Structure 1
């Protein structure tokens, strides 16, 4: 029987930490083998503020996923988000030495590396450099330049920037929990993989991921990511307002929001009342659902206004930047009743709730279809796609590996370091390693950065 490759997505959120282990079945759908959840006590607004608590939560989530699946988890694909993330647009160019030679990936790499040398604010690091479109000599708006002739190669870039210390803290927590980082990616991009179709990305779509501590935005147009932003508010501020406004404890406020909350106050009648048990023998509190909805409505309106401002800044009101597929809402905050209607009312754009279930195999646990798990499922997909790319290389010598599935990364590294002897190279025709994607290059750079920081 053929042994399948597995991957693990680790979503380090403000309210919860989720570890999800899975593989692809014969139909290319995700088969979830195990999932572990732990309350996140050391993260605030997507940023680690208690290393010890975060390590314990990661270990707890991973252990639960291991117990359910029966597999030992060694490396994970981790997402990064948080209020420290910002993005900017930048144009750059290189002049090629030989205009009679066709443009290849090395030229694009040189251009991207040049952007990585941009001077950032103190304490900031470039996370992703994403090419938008290219210009070769005087020819503009080129999507694919490889194979073309030209002396001057120019491109517009979407550059994602984050705080070095915040990124390093996430890496430190993962390593201290006894895990290796196989890949690291921006969380809005992972959520997009899980809930958006390629048609939506082509037509133009804004993904809004409302998490516990932050709300992430990713805008796609013509199949390319055009804009990203992190709003430092999420579901937690709604819970906090309910707690203060109704004078109840946080646990009760969260339950009220989830079970009875609505983003549209007009849906509730004045006489609809919920009774909350009092503390230690005190009288129960009576809260009208209309007041509850007013509190939720005010906070969600504030969040959506901020997100809509970012969508306007991208330029969606222009003909060129129009988002035909509208808005897709996901994340835990997307479960609030009547949120879709409120977002449509504020923005005037078509809106739907994004569920990660279209990528899941039949018979999967229904709870996994919840928008809460969109980021974790997306991270798992990123990990499996990377393994598929690596798996297209033939193993150098299966006898050298005790496990049924050889370690493709080790093989690539060994080729890179010329550890395969010349005799073996001549006797066997080894296919060249595929070019690394932008995200894989960033992962390698990030791991090197972490190692140097120790």
Structure 2
């Protein structure tokens, strides 16, 4: 049976492109209806699309798989944008008022418009996180109605290279897939991973991905800082390949035996083998490599948190998520470096998700994908978005003509106006014919008969003017 009411979303990651379709329930949970994924490591690097053709082909394949599982056509999808170069910059817009003035919504709107009109070279403002408005020495979240002679708007603009969004849109256009909306991936992820209390108290969400690590900091329920580091789990895997291992084998060993804080246990196995048992490696050697690279990534993460200026305001601590966050003792390594005790791992979202089979993975790798699904609002089924012209059926005396205007109010109104105009023209033609007939009838009444016309003619010939002379 086909599904006609669902939300569809696609996440373009450095390790895979994943697509999902689900239906929202009245209790706020989501029932997953379809899922598809494809490896993207050859054409997406550090969250940035490098090969548009391969990306478009992968998108087409994912949509076809989802449509096959749904038994319905997908009209549009929600998409997340992230990756390298995504970051926040602060901006301040001030206004001096001539006298004590009541702050109006129009004034706030004009300040916001001035903020997004700042010139940027090869960069786009993807979204804006308003901070506070400073009036005198006070900070106001909503200053409308307050009197002031000076107001200062503080904004956090989320920016990225212009090419990132353009390439994203071009790939979907090439694949002939309509985009319902583009969400900032770290923002929607934070919405489903963090609690309101954590956002209010102050926390850092660190998403350890394949090629990138994203850091988002919240305080008083407001995004205060966001940046993306070009370091992720793949760089650890790449380091392991120097042990003369294939990348696939290196990844498997990292997942099975990797430890960010390795300590040899007495009596434990010290030599491990690859899956095909073709190579033997000392566990200490493997984890020395992993520990060194992990320490570098964590040092960069903590440095960015310090640069944000909120390192001492994180009352809710640090929350880590993402596929690479599954590395054993990663939280302990981060705790050791940051000296922050409150560090927890979010391997799944807070919202309820229902699914069948093994589609659901509670390892942090699907958090952003589910977040995009929860952020979507519009039905993505094709029949709900576009009028599809059905094939013309063979002629039949009993066939009922289809009303093509029933689904469009504007077209319906135009049809009614056309019918009214036609009816008016027909009525004018009818009245015109009646009038013409009346005039003809009157002319006939006033016209002399044949006898009268013949008598007059003979009289004229007999009594001509020449004869009367």
Same fold (TM over 0.5): yes
4+ aligned runs moved over 6 Å, structure 1: 96-99, 399-403
Q: CA deviation at 1:119?
A: 2.0
Equivalent residues in 2 for 1:409-448, closer than 5 Å: none
Superposition TM-score, scaled by structure 2 size? 0.75
| Aligned equivalents of 2:110, 2:98: Cα separation in 1 | 12
Deviations 1:394-427 (A, max 9, x none): xxxxx99878xx9xxxx9xx9xxxx999x9xxxx
Kindly report the root-mean-square deviation, in angstroms, between the aligned alpha carbons of the 2 structures. 3.0
Q: CA deviation at 1:188?
A: 1.1
- 8 Å CA contact 2:211–2:233 kept in 1: the answer is yes
| Aligned equivalents of 2:19, 2:284: Cα separation in 1 | 37
State the number of aligned residues: 387
1:264 to 261, 266, 273: 261
| Aligned equivalents of 2:349, 2:356: Cα separation in 1 | 9
- Relative to structure 1, is the Cα distance of residues 23 and 81 closer, same or farther in structure 2, using a 3 angstrom cutoff? same
- Relative to structure 1, is the Cα distance of residues 313 and 178 closer, same or farther in structure 2, using a 3 angstrom cutoff? same
Partner residue, 1:355:
347
Deviations 1:148-183 (A, max 9, x none): 344543211111221111220011112222211111
- Secondary structure in 1 matching 2:361: helix
- Secondary structure in 1 matching 2:375: helix
Partner residue, 2:65:
64
Q: CA deviation at 1:95?
A: 5.1
Q: Which stretch has the larger CA shift, 286-295 or 150-159?
A: 150-159
Partner residue, 1:297:
291
- Secondary structure in 2 matching 1:359: coil
Q: CA deviation at 1:254?
A: 1.2
Deviations 1:37-79 (A, max 9, x none): 1100310111111111111222222222333333322212211
- 8 Å CA contact 2:131–2:154 kept in 1: the answer is yes
Equivalent residues in 2 for 1:216-227, closer than 5 Å: 216-227=214-225
- Secondary structure in 2 matching 1:35: strand
Query: Does 1:20 find its partner at 2:20?
Result: yes
Deviations 1:2-39 (A, max 9, x none): x9853222110111011111121121112211111110
| Aligned equivalents of 1:195, 1:222: Cα separation in 2 | 16
Equivalent residues in 2 for 1:152-191, closer than 5 Å: 152-191=150-189
Gaps in structure 1 of 5+ consecutive residues: 388-398, 424-454
- 8 Å CA contact 1:20–1:35 kept in 2: the answer is yes
Deviations 1:100-146 (A, max 9, x none): 55522x433322221112122x312222221111123x252111223
Larger Rg: 2
Q: CA deviation at 1:214?
A: 0.8
Partner residue, 1:194:
192
Q: Which stretch has the larger CA shift, 186-195 or 230-239?
A: 186-195
Q: CA deviation at 1:97?
A: 8.9
- Secondary structure in 2 matching 1:93: strand
2:369 to 352, 355, 376: 376
- Secondary structure in 2 matching 1:145: coil
- 8 Å CA contact 1:275–1:285 kept in 2: the answer is yes
- 8 Å CA contact 1:6–1:22 kept in 2: the answer is yes
Gaps in structure 2 of 5+ consecutive residues: 380-402, 417-469
Deviations 1:287-324 (A, max 9, x none): 12222222111112111111111111112344xxx111
| Aligned equivalents of 2:92, 2:338: Cα separation in 1 | 30
Partner residue, 2:316:
325
| Aligned equivalents of 2:209, 2:405: Cα separation in 1 | 42
Partner residue, 2:336:
345
- Secondary structure in 2 matching 1:23: strand
